[in-house]
Structure 1
């Protein structure tokens, strides 16, 4: 749906726009929407994590600078398109990479560098918590990071006053209350069945476990942000927050802030996958699938994380630490080759040339592992990217690209199979991420890999920040008296395009199954690589 210039200008002048900001692994993205939820401007800023003292991290300076660059890019886009820069905004929402560990003292000072979801240093804590609490506790969850700091007798534990996620931190910078939406909160600590608060029994069990390991005075409930569901009050943009976003000083304070969320929750909103039996797959630096459940399965813990939708419904999350980053590295190499040959190609053109024929490529004698970091889904502590083929086998661009895509989906396939084997209902998946901007490549391969219909919408490349902008818009409508549930409210958003559905192709399903059998059989190569490539 195209927004008429007068509509966009009116929204900008009246201050009724809504802004979504998402801090992803490689980009900070900002999207501004009008009253209907249709994007009218966007901006972004690139950034990269760094390995410091054994931990993957981003500095807080990089967070602040990245926010300003992303917002400045959005304001420039507004001026180019509509001849005006935002001065007032109706509502703002912040999303970020889920999980991880940001720890602060009583003065608000950061105690240790931000530990991102990518760190796999919490294996012992996660194992103890899973056994003690009786629910699956992933390595990347904030509670696992906290207990590991206790186990390692880290000095900062005694000075802790608050822990939060990246989205929660930025939300506070903007003037927000110490809260998180259900999706992001559920990546810190398990929620109660209501989806609106942490599980009190499990909180007590955590405290008891921490006490047995020397942290007798620790009360995790005192450290966690409060849970607020979509549409709830989460504060308003302060003067300092406005100056942080807009270094020019043009942006005024006062915008309503909605509960900050994780990037999984924003993907659910952007794809409209909020009803039981639906789900979405986000493919980027990491890969995760979110499946909305009819109810939380009983019995043995699932080999998946139980999280929540922004409205508090239970969801199963299959998270893989590695996605298409290695594919992006190869695209960069091919771009350099093109430049050396005298041809200048934009990144999307490189991907189109690389992936365009991948669905028809042969991978009979080829396997690829894009393990930039360790992969908890297959218990791999460290990663080294690899490509292996039988001697004498043909090496084609289509087959190489296909192997990279299927390799990126390998760990996801294992996790999704475990879910469906336990009876979790899945009718359709909606996929999003930049790799889906190349038509006819990743979508049919993902559908065949998971043997499930896969929908891709026109917003597939930019879904997260737009999903957060929709949550901000929902907060604004709630202030105006709209009490509809989020999934009902989304049905009226004109900016949502249903996209196209790819049904699993029987031949590709068989081919992908054979590839992934070889991929699993050759995993010892990936396990050996960190030892010989230290």
Structure 2
């Protein structure tokens, strides 16, 4: 589409905006009527570790959103010479789960507790047993029940509990709602009713009735909406929160806010049954849309939903790129001591490609990237660890090999369980920053899981683009699956990589040694966290 036509769409307000707040970056994507990205905005941030809790302050949240939107506006002004004043529809996405609770005056009662925290093991186990349904530590209901078990004073004052995307959506529109995919990471959803499971709602209320709180769980949860439903409009106050320059007009419509899992499924067109996507960033997770419920509760497998309400089994791993990023920062710092500055993307690409010359038959190194705790392994506290035998070949290529192998090892442990359930996967789509250097990590994943892995040409657009698609879907008469297949992805090409037999053998051997070494990591974690 020509610049003049895009400019006309911007002036007429036919554009659609998706914003996603990830763990390390807030990204905004503006799309045209053909769902093509025409401008982007970015803001880098990271969580703070305060009083043994991973958190982001409200000030940082709004500074990040406003800075990201300002970056988008500047991009539009530079590329098209106009200022964004009208937007057709907006969607907000964020890292899922966590704990944000407010009193009747909308005051945050305790600092935002993110999904990274692994402090709710007791609540998670009790609720899983009560519901006979896997309730992960990072889910909102786990955080709430753990606060109750801890006798935290703020619980009696709770008026509203939500997620990061639900909170931002509320502040921009005044509506306390979330999409069904986001809701499924707060509290279990009834597959038929596409709403909170009433039997489990009653069980939870009965569990905490002796505390005599003035709320019931359903009273403090946001309303559940499906993809395509209208979720509110931008208020005047909301427009100023998003664009503090005051250029953006109020009144544009919003789709239901969704979590990063849901937007990842949309961005990779993996919302149909027997499809799978793997998203790799700060955390790594796989999403497989399944045809029936699991036969039993698995500690390693979570159940969530697509934005249109299909059942998904999810393997969620807390740790993926955070430790890797710190090593890459160290390499960058070393280069700077020699007066050499290397662009970040080039540094990653160049070092990732070093594994092409690694020893595939030398498995004498192990790396554990646990910067934070890992619930699947019952590892409460983080403890990054690199170990090697005295006769190992400590070359850059071998070091990068174990770095990249380690990013998906825990995911593989969970994915291997799907075979027990006879779950079939027709195709796997990969996306996220870890796959930016093509032919490297996608090849590792394909070899580790023994399945072809594809990347779409739109893979790098990520969840913010997926959120914009959901915003454009408001009011459509088609199913979301048809909308994606027939309109959004009808002309999108993808590249598929198949398992490499030599790497498959290498990875399987590494995975065996990795599993045997896990007790060492747990002991190291207990020792170092107790000592320091």
Q: With structure 1 as the length reference, what TM-score do the two structures score? A: 0.96
Q: 1:370: which partner in 2?
A: 369
Whole-Å separation in 1 of the counterparts to 2:232 and 2:448: 43
Matched, 1:508 2:503: yes
Matching of residues 150-299 of structure 1 within 5 Å = 150-194=148-192, 196-211=194-209, 214-215=211-212, 217-299=214-296
Q: Are the counterparts in 1 of residues 227 and 308 from structure 2 also a CA contact under 8 Å?
A: yes
Displacement after TM superposition at 1:297 (Å): 2.1
Q: Are the counterparts in 2 of residues 39 and 495 from structure 1 also a CA contact under 8 Å?
A: no
The CA deviation string for residues 397-454 of structure 1, in whole angstroms up to 9 with x for no partner, is 1211111111111110111111222111112211111121112211100111111211
Whole-Å separation in 1 of the counterparts to 2:215 and 2:231: 26
Q: 1:395: which partner in 2?
A: 394
The CA deviation string for residues 161-208 of structure 1, in whole angstroms up to 9 with x for no partner, is 110000000001111421111111000000001262100001101111
Q: 1:471: which partner in 2?
A: 470
Extract unaligned runs of 5+ from structure 2. none
RMSD: 1.4
The CA deviation string for residues 101-123 of structure 1, in whole angstroms up to 9 with x for no partner, is 10011111111110110111111
What SS is found at the alignment partner of 2:519? Answer: helix
Q: 1:409: which partner in 2?
A: 408
Structure 1 residues 322 and 154: alpha-carbon distance in aligned structure 2, compared to 1, 3 A threshold: same
Displacement after TM superposition at 1:80 (Å): 1.2
Matched, 1:379 2:378: yes
Displacement after TM superposition at 1:4 (Å): 2.3
Displacement after TM superposition at 1:504 (Å): 1.4
Q: Are the counterparts in 2 of residues 20 and 94 from structure 1 also a CA contact under 8 Å?
A: yes
Matched, 1:98 2:96: yes
What SS is found at the alignment partner of 1:462? Answer: helix
Matching of residues 341-356 of structure 1 within 5 Å = 341-356=338-353
Q: 1:45: which partner in 2?
A: 43
Q: Are the counterparts in 2 of residues 195 and 312 from structure 1 also a CA contact under 8 Å?
A: no
Q: Are the counterparts in 2 of residues 321 and 373 from structure 1 also a CA contact under 8 Å?
A: yes
Displacement after TM superposition at 1:533 (Å): 2.5
Q: Choose 241-250 or 290-299, whichever is displaced more.
A: 290-299
Structure 1 residues 360 and 279: alpha-carbon distance in aligned structure 2, compared to 1, 3 A threshold: farther
Whole-Å separation in 2 of the counterparts to 1:295 and 1:523: 33
Matched, 1:483 2:477: yes
User: Which one of the candidate residues 22, 25, 35 is aligned to 2:23?
Assistant: 25
What SS is found at the alignment partner of 2:67? Answer: helix
Whole-Å separation in 1 of the counterparts to 2:199 and 2:356: 49
Whole-Å separation in 2 of the counterparts to 1:401 and 1:511: 14
Q: Are the counterparts in 2 of residues 150 and 215 from structure 1 also a CA contact under 8 Å?
A: no
Whole-Å separation in 2 of the counterparts to 1:40 and 1:138: 38
Q: 2:141: which partner in 1?
A: 143
User: Which one of the candidate residues 65, 68, 83 is aligned to 1:67?
Assistant: 65
Q: Are the counterparts in 2 of residues 195 and 314 from structure 1 also a CA contact under 8 Å?
A: no
Extract unaligned runs of 5+ from structure 1. none
Q: Are the counterparts in 1 of residues 269 and 489 from structure 2 also a CA contact under 8 Å?
A: no
The CA deviation string for residues 386-406 of structure 1, in whole angstroms up to 9 with x for no partner, is 111110211121211111111
Structure 1 residues 152 and 42: alpha-carbon distance in aligned structure 2, compared to 1, 3 A threshold: same
Whole-Å separation in 1 of the counterparts to 2:180 and 2:399: 40
Q: Are the counterparts in 2 of residues 434 and 460 from structure 1 also a CA contact under 8 Å?
A: no
Q: Are the counterparts in 2 of residues 195 and 308 from structure 1 also a CA contact under 8 Å?
A: no
Displacement after TM superposition at 1:301 (Å): 4.5
